[in-house]
Amino acid sequence: MNNTYLKTNDTIAAIATGLTNSGISIIRISGPESFSVAEKIFMKKKNGSFVKFDADGADSHTVHYGFIVDTDASGNISPVDEVMLLLLRSPNTFTREDTVEIDCHGGITVTKAVLERVLECNVRTADPGEFTKRAFLNGRIDLSQAEAVAGVINAKNSMALTNSMKQLGGVELNRIKDLRDRILHDTAYIEAALDDPEHYELDDFSEKLRINAQGWKSEIDKMINSAGNGRLISEGINTVIVGKPNAGKSTLLNAMVGSERAIVTEIAGTTRDTLEESISISGISLNIIDTAGIRESDDIIERIGVDRALAAVDNADLVLYVVDKSDRPDGDDEKIIQRIKDKKVIVLFNKSDVSDTYPKSDEDETDFRQWIVDKFGDMTVDKLPKFMDISAKYGNGIEELGNLIKDMFFEGGLMPNDEVYITSLRHKECLVDAKKSVEALISSIDMGMSEDFFAADMMNAYMFLGQIIGEDTDEDLIDRIFKDFCMGK
């Protein structure tokens, strides 16, 4: 993609670390005047006197000790802060521009004072994400890698971080580029054959193209299908805890959170409303909703809580059905099962520290575990709930629960190193459009149309895939992508 029309020639600066009291802060400067700025505001000391710093004469990727200084109208020099200054010469920098980084003391006041000195030198404050945007515009990274930078920064768990690092490393880029190259190769062959039929043969090419197109569609489908788990990795698994009153739901929430987040008493029905919390467990994020105990009640407030609990199930990716291991199944359990049977469910037999057996149901001699399986009905094994014994009170089984959830959603971990989950809705939409173009191509082949009809659909697929990595992408979209980045990045 030719992004020349998007490039700017000014110099930008921003605080690259959080604006809070800390050990150090980093101020990043990028652009053609970066070294000039360093010479204006940075000085070293020699024999007790400030001396001018020769940035142009210094080697790239070197660190220099000195002071950020301010000079008044009379030429008097006063230090602003004692700093380390890094010089990074183009093109071997993140933005491929001359870059200076100033490591100053981390107090808010001193950090702002150093930034103000930088901005006084005809430097403007960088927009959110502008350093990464310049890296993209200058060909340092593609658009999917640029978005992965934000993914690394915003990662909520280790799986999200690993996936974003794989995207940043070019796994998605290489896959898209390879697919586009194959589409372009076949498109070019058709065009060449139409222009020079004496040297390029199209006999039987339609069938070969159909086989290739089916392969392209299969690859695109695989990426689209990964987007579901990609969402769960980046946003977290929406998890609802349900069960009858006093089964230990709130105790389970507290055990998973690691603090007394929910009120726990021996009184059944203590939880009257939903309670939400986000946690990381076994490297994945769970957006947990603890709900009121589900049972028949004449209490209008408790009934509202029960209704909200049942409604929360509808938006759940996972249901943790907590059962008191010493209890007997009844109509309330059956009501819960009817509501959750189409979801991914883990049945947690709680209070395993005080009970070793599963009680029989009131209606027959079937034990509780088998009773639940029977109530789920005629389902394949993979659709049936998983079962675990836990003690929420003592935290027994929490780690194993996290591993079970990871197995259920991610088969224990991430894809192999040459694969990546699609976490961007924008990428998914581009893939869906590319798939439609490939399907249109296959349809044209099946209808026996001539080869000159194929090129338009092939080039559409090529274009939509290109939008993922920044080819054929307009300026408005680029601005929209980077506007949500954090300052200094």
Instruction: Count CB-CB contacts under 10 A for residue 96.
Output: 17
- The burial of 455, by beta-carbon neighbours within 10 Å (0-12 exposed, 13-18 middle, 19 or more buried), is given as middle
Averaged confidence pLDDT in the chain:
84
Q: What does the alpha-carbon distance between residue 396 and residue 388 come to, in Å, rounded to a whole number?
A: 11
User: What pLDDT is recorded for position 458?
Assistant: 93
CATH fourth-level superfamily of 4-141: Probable tRNA modification gtpase trme; domain 1 (3.30.1360.120)
Question: Which has the higher per-residue pLDDT, 213 or 417?
Answer: 213
User: What pLDDT is recorded for position 133?
Assistant: 92
Is the entire prediction scored with pTM above 0.85? no
Q: Is the pLDDT of residue 356 over 90?
A: no
Work out whether strand 62-71 and strand 77-88 pair parallel, antiparallel, or are unpaired: antiparallel
Q: What does the alpha-carbon distance between residue 12 and residue 31 come to, in Å, rounded to a whole number?
A: 6
> For residue 175, what pLDDT band results from cuts at 50, 70 and 90?
very high
**How does pLDDT run across 440-461, given as a tens digit for each residue?**
999 999 998 887 788 899 999 9
User: What pLDDT is recorded for position 354?
Assistant: 66
Own/partner pairs for 87-92, CB < 8 Å, 24+ apart? 87/35, 87/38, 87/55, 87/58, 87/59, 87/60, 87/61, 87/62, 88/60, 88/61, 89/60, 89/61, 91/138, 92/60, 92/61
User: What pLDDT is recorded for position 366?
Assistant: 65
User: What pLDDT is recorded for position 5?
Assistant: 37
Which among 136, 149, 120, 155 has a CA at the least distance from the CA of 40?
120
Q: Where are the domains of the chain?
A: 4-141, 153-230+424-469, 236-410
User: Is-same-fold flag (4-141; 236-410)?
Assistant: no
Extract the tokens encoding 27.
């101020």
Using DSSP's 3-state secondary structure scheme, residue 238 falls into strand
Q: Is the pLDDT of residue 6 over 60?
A: no
Residue 386 · residue 404 · CB < 8 Å:
yes
Question: Which has the higher per-residue pLDDT, 420 or 29?
Answer: 29
Q: Is the pLDDT of residue 256 over 50?
A: yes
> For residue 296, what pLDDT band results from cuts at 50, 70 and 90?
low
User: What pLDDT is recorded for position 102?
Assistant: 97
Using DSSP's 3-state secondary structure scheme, residue 457 falls into helix
Residue 290 · residue 392 · CB < 8 Å:
no
**Mean pLDDT value across residues 173-200:** 86
Any idea which fold 236-410 has?
A: Rossmann fold (3.40.50)
User: What pLDDT is recorded for position 261?
Assistant: 47
Domain 153-230+424-469 falls under CATH 1.20.1260.10? no
Q: What does the alpha-carbon distance between residue 184 and residue 310 come to, in Å, rounded to a whole number?
A: 51
**Mean pLDDT value across residues 232-252:** 86
Which among 290, 284, 319, 321 has a CA at the least distance from the CA of 305?
290
